[in-house]
């Protein structure tokens, strides 16, 4: 039995455009609300779990499901042999579509010219990225076995000890982290000219790790090759945000992160600087956490080899 289409092509396009506009408005309101320090931390908490998504999609996920931990598309869950629970509504996000427009040679009458083989003659290509509304699902909306996907994080030391964390950070930044008790009032310091990172040596493990991530974030974001013209306050805001996301993911909770710089954007119509910072924070956090994931996989493989050899 054939089913009639509920909407015409034009009606369907209008519905999709309306859905996209509604999601844009939700996103813009969410960005403005994120200027509140506590809401900003809440947003970073979700980013720490969904760090492979853009900051815009991380924020959209946070606004629609504040308990989201592991998020995938219907297709990716299906690849894993996981089913979405009945009647679950997907979390709306934006996904990019690359459109390629090919320009063909035309004859004197404006018609597409053909070569001797009867084929169209290509004279150029134009590419354009557009965004559509897609849907993803949190692990809580599926029949997935959480233990298979979630790494139990009772404490940072049980996943990777402090030395391993610092070693991974050094690999990411390409800079040896030096410990120095003569830093004045500072807990850490990054020198872009000398490509040098120094961290106070007499702090507890959690504060040491948090400070190391903060300074490594500076080395990735604000090195001497950077063309960014940022104030000291904005640089500190970005490094502190990256440290928060990375440490939260590694279950290192220092509880001392300061986001007072947010006040500089409150009440402003143009918050493009804030959006640019969020973009850099997400990308840098993701780069760092991807390297930690690689190291964790290597550690797992080494454990398996040790067990086999025994």
Structure tokens at 235: 């640089």
What average pLDDT score do residues 43-72 get? Answer: 92
Q: Cβ distance 45 to 248 under 8 Å?
A: yes
Q: How far apart are CA 212 and CA 288, in angstroms?
A: 12
Q: How far apart are CA 211 and CA 177, in angstroms?
A: 11
Q: How far apart are CA 294 and CA 204, in angstroms?
A: 26
Confidence of residue 260 (pLDDT cuts 50, 70, 90): confident
Q: How far apart are CA 304 and CA 51, in angstroms?
A: 28
Q: How many CB atoms lie within 10 A of CB 190?
A: 24
Q: Comparing C-alpha atoms, which of 130, 127, 40, 46 is closest to residue 94?
A: 130
Q: Cβ distance 140 to 67 under 8 Å?
A: yes
Question: 8-26 pLDDT, tens per residue?
Answer: 777 767 877 888 888 989 9
Question: 97-111 pLDDT, tens per residue?
Answer: 887 778 888 888 788
Structure tokens at 182: 């003569």
pLDDT given for residue 301 in this prediction: 60
pLDDT given for residue 226 in this prediction: 86
pLDDT given for residue 92 in this prediction: 94
Question: 186-244 pLDDT, tens per residue?
Answer: 999 999 999 999 999 988 888 999 999 999 999 999 998 888 889 999 999 999 999 99
Is the pLDDT confidence value at 168 over 60? yes
Helix axes 272-309, 55-64, angle to 10 degrees: 90
What average pLDDT score do residues 149-163 get? Answer: 56
pLDDT given for residue 300 in this prediction: 61
Q: What φ, ψ does residue 268 adopt, rounded to 5°?
A: -85, 140
- Alpha carbon distances (Å) from 290 to 52, 161, 168, 195: 9, 18, 11, 23
Q: What φ, ψ does residue 50 adopt, rounded to 5°?
A: -115, 45
Is the pLDDT confidence value at 66 over 70? yes
pLDDT given for residue 307 in this prediction: 47
Angle at alpha carbon of residue 252, lines to 251 and 253, rounded to 5°: 105
Is the pLDDT confidence value at 6 over 70? no
pLDDT given for residue 5 in this prediction: 54
Bridge partners of 268, per DSSP, are: none
């Amino acid at each position: 039995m054939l089913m009639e289409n509920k909407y015409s092509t034009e009606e369907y396009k209008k519905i999709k455009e309306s859905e996209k506009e509604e999601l844009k408005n939700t996103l813009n309101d969410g960005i403005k609300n994120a200027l509140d320090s506590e809401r900003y931390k809440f947003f970073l908490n979700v980013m720490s779990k969904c760090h492979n998504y853009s900051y815009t999609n991380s924020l959209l996920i946070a606004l629609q499901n504040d308990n989201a931990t592991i998020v995938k598309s219907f297709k990716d869950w299906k690849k894993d042999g996981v089913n979405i629970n009945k009647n679950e509504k997907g979390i709306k996000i934006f996904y990019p579509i690359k459109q390629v427009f090919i320009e063909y040679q035309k004859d004197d009458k404006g018609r597409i010219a053909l070569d001797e083989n009867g084929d169209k003659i290509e004279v150029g290509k134009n590419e354009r990225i557009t965004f559509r509304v897609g849907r993803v699902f949190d692990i809580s909306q599926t029949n997935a076995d959480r233990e298979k996907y979630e790494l139990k994080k009772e404490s940072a030391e049980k996943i990777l000890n402090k030395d391993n964390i610092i070693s991974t950070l050094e690999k990411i930044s390409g800079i040896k982290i030096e410990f120095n008790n003569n830093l004045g009032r500072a807990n850490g310091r990054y020198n872009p000219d000398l490509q040098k990172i120094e961290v106070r040596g007499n702090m507890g493990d959690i504060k040491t790790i948090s400070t190391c991530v903060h300074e490594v974030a500076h080395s990735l974001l604000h090195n001497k090759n950077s063309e960014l013209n940022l104030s000291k306050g904005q640089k500190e805001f970005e490094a502190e945000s990256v440290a928060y996301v990375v440490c939260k993911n590694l279950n290192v909770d220092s509880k001392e992160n300061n986001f007072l710089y947010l006040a500089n954007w409150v009440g402003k119509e143009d918050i493009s600087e804030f959006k640019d910072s969020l973009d850099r924070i997400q990308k840098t956090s993701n780069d760092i956490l991807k390297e930690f994931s690689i190291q964790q996989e290597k550690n797992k493989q080494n454990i398996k080899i040790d067990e086999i050899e025994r």
